[in-house]
Structure 1
């Protein structure tokens, strides 16, 4: 482990132990370096690294603070990496969605307020009878985002939102090239909505699995054809 890694680990431990809490300002650089037994240059590199993943917020002329540490903020670093992924890696993202999203949907069937479930119906109705593929995909992302939030688990919701948003290009591509996708997607959304409304957690999870697996299988077939 490098000296910089030691510094990162030391700061992380201070946060984990509750010595530094969200919003707290870090001690002055020379004081913290002396306390941790590190060089100031190593500490500076550690702070820079932790600021890149939004654990720390360096405010010029003010100091360095622990961020809110909200899951959505910390997931930004994952989003940055995902933006560089190619189609075969998007497939892995869809695989991850197929594992994670049904769990969020199952939890939402139990915890999501009925008013929010009814709001999902209004969201689907807002598309009208003949939405474009782009409108459908945007609606789809919002549909799944709300369900993930309905799980009551902020970390799970952030994961779903990150994975869902970063597969938008693949879903748009599918909508433009595969016949009947708009109707099929809306039908699957309506089925998930109905299961949520009836509080059928297992059925809602199974429907979510089938829904995500459809995009995944299409991409698998497409990649095979391209090779």
Structure 2
């Protein structure tokens, strides 16, 4: 079990066991992480995940609270999680991304301009160890869109734009529930950038295949579990 998953489970147990009730404020981060035996970074990611599905309400400058936990609130928020685990069309979209995006990267390695290369570098350098998951996914989308643009094929670009926009939620959820998501994505982007910069078509294609396969593999494993 990933560390973040363990943190989510521990908070859920506190709620189910009555230690935390609807409307209660969570203890300060340092105190709660020590009580649960978890790192503060793992706890922080768990809180982000539970905020996303409306179990927790993070109030900036005030604290983190358990929501009302009313059924309609949780049902609305959990709809996309159900979609990830039950809708095979998401997996099919990811399969198509895995087929098409490496080709775009291969073309980009041959056709990219210096201006496009500079923008790719800026996109990579904008990500740091402190980047949060939703911002990371925004940078990921930008990085891939620049590669698609550099491929110089408008039809391929239109297809990939549509595919990417329909897999954003899966990418966010994977990032929130897997450890080291930011560093992993940053390392992969840097390797892809290096291959495109050097004009290595086959390496660029192989690296993008592995990069895109990450979300697909995670989703298949989650669906099977």
C-alpha distance in structure 2 between counterparts of 1:127 and 1:214, whole Å: 19
Aligned position for 1:189: 189
Higher relative contact order, structure no. (Cα contacts within 8 Å, ≥ 6 residues apart): 2
Contact 1:106 1:202 in 2 (8 A): yes
TM-score under structure 1 normalisation?
A: 0.60
Structure number with greater Rg is: 1
Contact 1:111 1:152 in 2 (8 A): yes
Residue 180 of structure 2 is aligned to residue 170 of structure 1? no
C-alpha distance in structure 2 between counterparts of 1:128 and 1:95, whole Å: 29
Q: CA deviation at 1:87?
A: 3.6
Question: Residues 18-33 of structure 1 correspond to what in structure 2 (within 5 A)?
Answer: none
Aligned position for 2:112: 112
1:155-211 Cα deviation digits (max 9, x unpaired): 001111111111000000000001111111111011000000000011000100000
Aligned position for 1:73: none
Contact 2:127 2:186 in 1 (8 A): no
Q: Secondary structure at the match of 1:128?
A: coil
Structure 2, unmatched stretches of 5+, are 1-82
Contact 1:105 1:151 in 2 (8 A): yes
Q: How many residues align?
A: 142
Question: Residues 50-129 of structure 1 correspond to what in structure 2 (within 5 A)?
Answer: 87-129=87-129
Contact 1:114 1:197 in 2 (8 A): no
Contact 1:102 1:205 in 2 (8 A): yes
Contact 2:129 2:182 in 1 (8 A): no
Aligned position for 2:16: none
Aligned position for 1:139: 139
Q: Secondary structure at the match of 2:196?
A: helix
TM-score under structure 2 normalisation?
A: 0.61
Aligned position for 1:148: 148
Aligned position for 2:223: 223
Contact 2:109 2:196 in 1 (8 A): yes
Q: Secondary structure at the match of 2:131?
A: coil
C-alpha distance in structure 2 between counterparts of 1:176 and 1:87, whole Å: 20
Aligned position for 1:200: 200
Contact 1:88 1:223 in 2 (8 A): no
Aligned position for 2:15: none
RMSD of aligned Cα (Å) = 1.4
Q: CA deviation at 1:114?
A: 2.1
Contact 2:129 2:183 in 1 (8 A): no
